[in-house]
């Protein structure tokens, strides 16, 4: 464990940038299970969600999907979302070998709730919460950056990005950042979750 006496070692550590939803947690899976409970006529399974956002696959509009997701985020179930068990176990064993920040795309109306969730579950390691506001018609937000890649380009300190969105991953890779794509039904990651985490662990400073 690093401390102020060996701070020079912490300065050598790689910095991992973590996406939040569907990386640090399983938001889409838990939201989808909640949504299915109110739409029993839908026969689509989580593993068939080959697109994200999945509204077309579910036969609903994008606005309806976003409204449902935003409502869920702010609900008791959304705010009590458990962390990804494999990821939190990795942090407990290897988190001290890296520096960590969170970078997410989330609506302004729920960003403070997500920040609280991240610090509550991962604050022993993640000391910086950052977000690029997802656009919502009734919640305009000042735009410094349009995408995560814009933010990462401005920040300029990321070594590794863990992300589930293939477009975000590709854009970060083009900036020279190492990218690990969290396996989800909507991407084509060749990794398993355990394989991804093992790869990360090998890059840390003991």
One domain for residues 50 and 92: no
> Are residue 18 and residue 93 in the same domain, yes or no?
yes
| pLDDT at residue 140, as a whole number | 84
Structural domain includes residue 206? no
Rounded CA-CA distance 73/81 in Å is 9
Instruction: Say whether both 178 and 147 belong to one domain.
Output: yes
The boundaries of the domain holding residue 193 are: 4-26+83-201
In a domain, 145, yes or no: yes
CA gap 113, 157 in Å, rounded: 26
Residue 46 domain flag: yes
Residue 77: C-alpha distances to residues 13, 66, 110, 121, 174 (Å)? 35, 17, 14, 15, 37
In CATH, what number is assigned to the domain containing residue 110?
A: 3.40.50.1000
- pLDDT of 78 reads 96
pLDDT one digit per residue (tens) for the chain, 206 residues: 445 645 556 778 999 999 999 999 999 999 999 999 999 999 999 999 999 999 999 999 999 999 999 999 999 999 999 999 999 999 999 999 999 999 999 999 999 999 999 999 999 999 999 999 999 988 888 999 999 999 999 999 999 999 999 999 999 999 999 999 999 999 999 999 999 999 999 999 87
**Which two three-digit tokens encode residue 83?**
């962390």
Asked if residue 121 and residue 58 are part of one domain, the reply reads no
Say what the pLDDT of residue 3 is: 59
pTM: 0.94
The two beta strands, 178-181 and 99-107, are: unpaired
Residues 139 and 156 grouped into a single domain: yes
Residue 70, pLDDT score? 96
Pair (89, 168) in one structural domain: yes
Alpha-carbon torsion angle 68, 127, 148, 86, nearest 10: -60
Both 75 and 88 in a single domain? Answer: no
Note whether 20 and 33 are same-domain residues.
Answer: no
Both 197 and 129 in one domain: the answer is: yes
Residue 182 and residue 93 in one domain:
yes
Q: Do 33 and 91 lie in a common domain?
A: no
Q: Into how many domains does the chain fold?
A: 2
Do 74 and 88 share a domain, yes or no? no
């Amino acid at each position: 464990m690093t401390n102020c006496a060996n701070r020079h070692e912490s300065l050598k550590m790689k910095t991992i940038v973590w996406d939040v939803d569907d990386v640090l947690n399983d938001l889409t899976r838990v939201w989808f299970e909640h949504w299915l409970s109110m739409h029993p006529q839908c026969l689509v399974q989580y593993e068939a969600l080959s697109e994200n956002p999945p509204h077309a696959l579910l036969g609903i509009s994008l606005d309806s999907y976003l409204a449902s997701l935003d409502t869920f985020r702010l609900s008791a179930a959304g705010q009590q979302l458990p962390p990804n068990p494999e990821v939190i176990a990795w942090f407990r064993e290897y988190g001290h070998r890296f520096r960590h920040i969170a970078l997410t795309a989330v609506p302004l109306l729920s960003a403070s709730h997500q920040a609280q969730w991240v610090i509550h579950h991962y604050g022993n390691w993640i000391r910086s919460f950052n977000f690029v506001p997802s656009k919502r018609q009734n919640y305009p937000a000042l735009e410094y950056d349009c995408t995560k890649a814009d933010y990462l380009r401005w920040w300029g300190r990321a070594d590794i990005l863990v992300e589930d969105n293939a477009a975000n991953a590709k854009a970060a890779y083009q900036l020279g950042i190492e990218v690990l794509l969290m396996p989800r039904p909507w991407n084509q990651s060749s990794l398993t979750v355990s394989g991804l985490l093992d790869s990360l662990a090998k890059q840390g400073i003991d």
